[in-house]
Amino acid sequence: MNSRKLIVGNWKMHPASVDDAKRIARRTRLVASRLEHTDVVACPPFPFMQACASRRPTANFYIGAQSVSVHEEGAHTGEAGAGMLRSLGATYAIVGHSEQRAAGDSDEIVSHRLARVVEAGLTAILCVGERTRDESGAHFDVVRDQIKGSLAGLPEGKARSVIMAYEPVWEIGAKEAMAPEEVHEMSIFVKKAFSDIFGPEAGLKAKVLYGGSVNFRNAVEIIHTGQVDGLLVGRESVNLPGFTELLKEVDKIQ
Ligand code: PEP
């Protein structure tokens, strides 16, 4: 586990207006600038990204995209290329989120999106996670296959351009997050799968986030006991009081 923590806020399709988006970004940036051990990435919807990016770089605060086209540019109506998102201020981009996988993204499509992200010089946040779980342990195979398929074709030298985010789909939008001990088991598993592809050194250096119903009450225990490098936060990332509290609590972890 790295000592600096990374907290990524996936705003999904919120808030309703650019003014609200600017307000959330301003406040999040202010809180982030006061943190000592924590980096914060806000991922607003595409149309709000530029408004949320600061003209001056702010310590600890970055903008991320929620997805990216498999194409660089061209006749692809409704798509946004990685280079375009970078020019709007993005440093990170989420790929393989379960909501996009549910809308049709296969591992192959995710691997193409990831390739565009890395080529554009952004850092990819690669989401993996099983939809359901039972006693059989089949979720390990599901997650391993997603990791293999989504990272297929990524050159070894680019392994550091990818941050893994383990998000059990059944825990997204749920009442409670996964038990920290189970998060720990999965963070080890994800690192092992990563090292099987890129080698033990890359596996050791790999960053793994947990996502799924994180809030200011459970964040510290998930990072501490779950031994993850940070969190991917959905709902709570646009709830300013809760997210502010979460960031301050996480920053206290040594
Ligand atoms: C997500 O959608 O990536 C997520 C983690 O959502 P929530 O925190 O709302 O469960």
The answer on pLDDT for 55 being more than 90 is no
Has residue 215 been placed in a domain?
A: yes
pLDDT tens per residue across span 168-194: 999 999 999 999 999 999 999 999 999
pLDDT tens per residue across span 42-54: 999 999 999 999 8
Torsion of CA 67, 73, 74, 78, to 10 degrees: 20
Has residue 188 been placed in a domain?
A: yes
**How many A from CA of 74 to the centre of ligand 1?**
32
Q: State the total domains in the chain.
A: 1
Has residue 71 been placed in a domain?
A: no
What does the pLDDT read at residue 2?
A: 58
Asked whether the bond before 15 is cis by omega within 30 degrees of 0, the reply is: yes
**How many A from CA of 172 to the centre of ligand 1?**
5
**How many A from CA of 131 to the centre of ligand 1?**
13
97, 112, 139, 184: the active-site residue: 97
User: CB under 8 Å, gap of 24 or more: what pairs does 240-245 form?
Assistant: 240/24, 240/27, 240/28, 242/215, 242/216, 243/9, 243/28, 243/31, 243/216, 244/27, 244/28, 244/31, 245/216
Has residue 201 been placed in a domain?
A: yes
- In the residue annotation, 167 being an active-site residue is answered as yes
Whose CA is closest to 187, among 123, 131, 231? 231
The protein residue whose alpha carbon is closest to atom 3 in ligand 1 is 234
Has residue 113 been placed in a domain?
A: no
- In the residue annotation, 97 being an active-site residue is answered as yes
Say which CATH number the domain at 54 has. Answer: 3.20.20.70
Give residues (CB < 6 A) around ligand 1: 10, 167, 172-173, 211-214, 232-235
Alpha helices, H only, 36-106: 49-52, 82-87, 98-102
Q: What average pLDDT is seen over the chain?
A: 96
Q: H or E element: which one contains 25?
A: helix 18-33
**How many A from CA of 235 to the centre of ligand 1?**
6
Whose CA is closest to 211, among 187, 240, 247? 187
Has residue 24 been placed in a domain?
A: yes
Has residue 56 been placed in a domain?
A: yes
The protein residue whose alpha carbon is closest to atom 8 in ligand 1 is 234
Has residue 116 been placed in a domain?
A: no
Whose CA is closest to 180, among 219, 135, 134, 132? 219
Q: What are the Cα distances from residue 130, in Å, to 99, 149, 226? A: 12, 14, 18
Its pTM stands at 0.97
pLDDT tens per residue across span 69-113: 999 999 999 999 999 999 999 999 999 999 999 999 999 999 999
Range of the structural domain that residue 183 is part of: 5-65+130-251
112, 130, 167, 184: the active-site residue: 167
